[in-house]
Amino acid sequence: MSKLGIIGGSGLYNIEGLSKEKWIKIKTPWGNPSDQILEAKFANQSFCFIPRHGRGHFIPPSNINFRANIDALKQRGVTDIVSISAVGSLRETLEPGKFVIVDQFIDRTFARKKTFFDDEIVAHVSMAHPTSKSLMDACEASIVKCKIPYQRGGTYIAMEGPQFSSLAESQLYRSWKADVIGMTNMPEAKLAREAEIRYASISMVTDYDCWHPNHENVDVQQVIKVLLENAAKAKKMIKDIIENYQNYIDISDPAINCLDVAIITDPKKRTKKTINKLATIAGRVLKK
């Protein structure tokens, strides 16, 4: 049985028009998630939602407890995550207001906990293809239906933040042929894979990064204006994804059993304490 989780970024702190809404406080072995988890229904489909920065946007990118967010969603039975975030554009053709269905990442963050497997039990999951094709298909169908300009496929640079890029950095990332730049999809995508959750990422372009001669000084107020316009479009898209994503589920997706070939630690070295800590994330393989 599949269940959708939505991680909402900047501007997406609530979604209107839902039924049976309930905010639930979740405890995790990794600390508190960004906020309570919203469980609700739309078009008779149950789903979960978590505002990545907390309602009111009070958690900066480096302080987001990504591990707790993923663990909390999995505790509620989430099998598929659609992550939505605001980004800067590194390409002339990706103008503000356009959405990008991301399929690759370059992780430039350095101050974050990036794995669930950092104590006693070591696991190496593949990140060659970090997003789920079936979820990307579902997202694309909804974007088309909502008549939102978009690009399917693109590389997301994850920077530490909270400052925006220097001009030299922006030009470097463009030379790498990256498409968009943001501060929140890593280590989120890595942790979703470790948790055996299918993952898709939709980037909403708010501005050109500072490489663009008309955007040398990225202004937060300017970004917020486009961000709110994007959020209104994103909420319509999210509702359509909730209603229809079940039609695209691929039970052969490699994410759902990737831990079968990822854990390298000798079972004799795995203590009960650590196995219990990883119960939600890896209980399927550790408690065999």
Supply the range of the domain harboring residue 232.
Answer: 4-286
Q: What does the pLDDT read at residue 244?
A: 96
Cα 197 to the chain's mean position, in Å? Answer: 11
- Within 10 Å of residue 124's Cβ, how many Cβ atoms? 13
**Contact residues for 123 (Cβ-Cβ < 8 A; gap 6+):** 115, 116, 117, 194, 259, 262, 263, 264, 265, 282
CATH number at residue 264: 3.40.50.1580
Q: What does the pLDDT read at residue 227?
A: 84
How would you class 202 by CB atoms within 10 Å of its CB: exposed for 0-12, middle for 13-18, buried for 19 or more?
buried
Between CA 101 and CA 29 the distance in angstroms is 32
Q: Is the dihedral of CA 253, 259, 35, 158 positive or negative?
A: negative
Q: What does the pLDDT read at residue 230?
A: 87
Active site includes 179? no
Q: What does the pLDDT read at residue 202?
A: 97
Active site includes 119? no
Q: Which long-range contacts (CB under 8 A, 24 or more apart) does 33-41 make?
A: 33/65, 33/68, 33/69, 33/71, 33/72, 34/59, 34/64, 34/65, 34/68, 34/69, 37/72, 37/73, 37/76, 38/14, 39/76, 40/15
Q: Residue with structure tokens 């590389």?
A: 155
> Residue 277 is encoded by which pair of tokens?
């800590």
Q: Catalytic residue among 35, 103, 207, 240, which?
A: 207
Q: How far apart are the first and last CA of the chain?
A: 21
**Are the beta carbons of 120 and 270 closer than 8 angstroms?**
yes
Q: What does the pLDDT read at residue 74?
A: 98
pLDDT one digit per residue (tens) for the chain, 288 residues: 899 999 997 778 778 889 999 999 999 999 999 999 999 999 999 999 999 999 999 999 999 999 999 999 999 999 999 999 999 999 999 999 999 999 999 999 999 999 999 999 999 999 999 999 999 999 999 999 999 999 999 999 999 999 999 999 999 999 999 999 999 999 999 999 999 999 999 999 999 988 877 655 666 677 778 888 888 899 999 999 999 999 999 989 999 999 999 999 999 999 999 999 999 999 999 986
* Number of domains composing the chain: 1
Radius of gyration (C-alpha) of the chain in whole angstroms: 18
DSSP helix/strand/coil, 51: strand
